[in-house]
Structure 1
């Protein structure tokens, strides 16, 4: 049989001719069928779809699931056709490559399986390339995965900046906001956990920086933020849902899409949920509480926060009617949205025109104004009572 210009013939353990797997063994990202997950895995299929749509994807080719299955059985790769593609992509060995996993089980809407399989960076030379392919394919067996795996091969790029980009706010699920984590260099620094990067919350339209946490990153200009927002909008249009992306800005200043997958359901809070956290009380309660300590502190803390919110007019009756302090394994957590430390559920247009919010704040300002006037007299009365005792 001839496949991709290569005569392929194998012999099994007892010497009988073994029929080859049906289907192509190698595919370029632009080839017909390169967007089929069962052939190239989810990662490569998504990049092929992005490339068809004109998104800035690096060129590359895929060692398909059929060819990888042969490797898993200990058979040889189709050397002639594979070497031809390796020469074209690497400039006959003058340019480094990146060899990445692309499993059928990766990058779904329910599980990304990020970091489960191997990827090999800065691969040089023909022998090094073959070793990298075998390593990536072997990583599926190493983690006990029975799912078919393919191998995505692309040129290694020099990056000015790199990072990850979410097509929504993963903290609140708000689709009007985007979240980016940026680092100088390749995005693998963030993905591998070697660096945390600078986190930026962007507006979906113009990419305005709404919140920034971390050191200033040279090159993260308004122009780049706008291009990141445009990339998030385009991938959402192509794939039909907000995407979790890896990207880089190459040496020529071109923004490149390295990976696009659906934001997993686990990363998005359930509808109408409210974020909880320990940050406001972490210094006071750094450790888990015993049952007695929890009974002693949780209710007074909840009542104190509720009284402060009611006095200041910062929370509605609906917010004040539910618990504000929760306990998980003895650790106390506060409703962050209620105290203004995190965005709450998305408000409807009815909330925006509801006059009760303004009236509540006006009434609270009046109460606080009266307290400020009466405060000196209250202090004098308290001092007199203490002196009398």
Structure 2
């Protein structure tokens, strides 16, 4: 085991106070502040004796902190962290008595053996936090340091502020992200030598000189170390080699290097998750990211990267190759020299600004024409990224490309026709499962579903960019933009209306194929678990019809002048209609192709069950492998058994792999600081409400729904009078962002995993979208 040596006497945890007392005599890498502790029974029998004992300590005249040290705290399996009260800033006898009584009153089990701990309050902290000897959620062999700067040593545990997180593997701790944290690795190793290999965590504070103070050590409740050994190290090294290879020149993708991200394009973190099982990943690749994504962009006038996969499978973690993505968003009419210069600038900008990883098309890449494009081009010329001639060529190319997208005979119109044909195509199930039928479904989904949907999504992005530029020029206000985009006749608006007006059978006939995890075979369809998703007994009221956006005459004149001055065809009415149609078409296209996607998963499950495999088993298979099962039942059963076993073993290692949301260099796989969540806020509204952890089965009625990665399969939450929405992943143009906007639901999309976990435990949240604030507004959860 890492860093563990046999000791003559095995350390035993006690209460918080008892553990600290024992640690004070053993630990050398940190200081334990002097302390006094006593039981509730001792206080009740003779409080004066207790106060006299405290008063006899040389530090008793200083500012004190009175802390709980209950028998039920800091135990293996249940830490009860934060359950009981601590009282800081205690000065003088009267305040001390009040603080002791308050801490005792916070004990809710009535056990007279519970203890109260009194210490001098530490006042020299420049940073503080919590360190775990293993990754707490999955038991991976990473040291995890959550810390925040400043003198307040409670900020990390209270969850009331932005918290930084440093992950590192043993042997890769020399690059501490802050000088004051440089002693943390040595302290972790010393504590592991003392307490043994079982997972633990500790609270600490650091001074400007790097000296550490130890506040608490406890078993890491609920953490079970996964089997590691050399296999984990081999996987990390293999992933590092893969990243190294990806950073070599790889035509037709342009530029000298890349950066990998979980959100920059096609949002795998949102659509299939950070650690998806093999079936979901392989299906997503087959239907979209292997070739469909690039073929669609080539049809819209961008560079053709049809033979370049967009998604990189890094030890089971799905990443987007941003060099390929950026190359595919350069107009095809530009020469290689200019195109390469653009791609390298985009990649370098993302490396320097990792917080933009889910906003690359709005904040980095220039991918369509809009009314403030010339301002963006001017900045690139001023920065010597482009010459004036380059700028003129790029402007011309983007204008022609965008004009083509909006044309009546352009690719957007063609893709919309294709999706409407798909909507009229019935799905016929053969009597028996066959790989040939599964392959037919996949081919139909690609050619007539995800391919045109990819184009519709591109048109929706063009439309959104144009609207944003009108806001930047003060032609539209932010509220006007929300009203314009929200007035699109989208699927989610129709779903709510249909839920109120259709019978249960009719509603499920129309929407029953949807599932929250569109690519996840373990996620039930609406028609497989309707009572989980919908309350059919409650009164169902249709939402008021969406008010059409009515531009003023002044706004129409301003848009008309802009169209003329920017040499764009059409009139204001045509432009606004395109915006609404593009936004609605994107959601309509998703609804239609997801019929075939859902049917693919249904067929996979039917075929697997015929051979004796559960849906859970099948989630570890890969889609291409399933298409190759053409033998007898016995042969297929043996082959599928091996496929599932291999997939399950590989996924166990995937669950032990931690990596940043944006990965630029191989060494980040052994040590990195997680990017803080930079949320995309939707609407300008504010709400205070209890949270509902939807994945845990909690009812989001009159609550803020928190969902790690919410795709359109979660539309059902909007039938529950949901007050707000918060997700760990997602971008400003994601599915749920559009739904929240159209329905006027305040939302924070893509807050990041760390911030999401804090909010999920908050109990009650204040979500102030207009002021871009999320904060705990009530009692949290243990």
For Structure 1 versus Structure 2, the TM-score category normalised by the shorter chain is 0.5 to 0.7
Distance of 1:339 and 1:309 partners within structure 2? 19
Equivalent residue for 2:163? 197
Distance of 1:244 and 1:137 partners within structure 2? 25
Quote the offset at 1:338 in angstroms.
Answer: 3.8
1:61 to 27, 30, 35: 35
Return closer, same or farther for 1:107/1:309 CA change in 2, 3 Å cut-off. Answer: farther
Unaligned 5+ residue runs, structure 1? 1-34, 210-218, 325-334, 346-389
Quote the offset at 1:309 in angstroms.
Answer: 8.2
Equivalent residue for 1:48? 21
Quote the offset at 1:201 in angstroms.
Answer: 0.9
Contact 1:183 1:190 (C-alpha < 8 Å) held by counterparts? yes
The structure with more helix, counted as a fraction of residues: 2
Contact 2:183 2:210 (C-alpha < 8 Å) held by counterparts? no
Secondary structure of 2:622's partner?
helix
1:123 to 83, 90, 112: 90
Equivalent residue for 2:183? 227
Quote the offset at 1:317 in angstroms.
Answer: 8.2
Secondary structure of 1:109's partner?
coil
Return closer, same or farther for 1:308/1:202 CA change in 2, 3 Å cut-off. Answer: farther
Quote the offset at 1:245 in angstroms.
Answer: 0.7
Question: CA offsets per residue over residues 97-127 of structure 1, 9 Å max, x none?
Answer: 2111112222122221111211111212221
Return closer, same or farther for 1:291/1:64 CA change in 2, 3 Å cut-off. Answer: same
Equivalent residue for 1:183? 148
Contact 1:101 1:136 (C-alpha < 8 Å) held by counterparts? yes
Instruction: Give matches, 1:264-275, under 5 Å.
Output: 264=221, 266-268=222-224
Secondary structure of 2:213's partner?
strand
Instruction: Give matches, 1:183-332, under 5 Å.
Output: 183-185=148-150, 186-207=152-173, 220-221=177-178, 223-241=179-197, 242-264=199-221, 266-268=222-224, 279-281=270-272, 286=516, 289-290=524-525, 292=527, 296=599, 298-299=601-602, 306-307=622-623, 320-321=643-644
Question: CA offsets per residue over residues 320-361 of structure 1, 9 Å max, x none?
Answer: 41698xxxxxxxxxx89649974369xxxxxxxxxxxxxxxx
Secondary structure of 1:201's partner?
strand
Equivalent residue for 1:343? 656
Equivalent residue for 1:166? 132
Contact 1:244 1:261 (C-alpha < 8 Å) held by counterparts? yes
Return closer, same or farther for 1:239/1:249 CA change in 2, 3 Å cut-off. Answer: same
Quote the offset at 1:63 in angstroms.
Answer: 2.7
Equivalent residue for 1:104? 71
Alpha-carbon RMSD: 4.1
User: Number of aligned pairs?
Assistant: 270
Contact 1:98 1:155 (C-alpha < 8 Å) held by counterparts? yes
Contact 1:64 1:150 (C-alpha < 8 Å) held by counterparts? yes
Distance of 2:70 and 2:225 partners within structure 1? 27
Distance of 2:92 and 2:129 partners within structure 1? 28
Quote the offset at 1:305 in angstroms.
Answer: 7.6
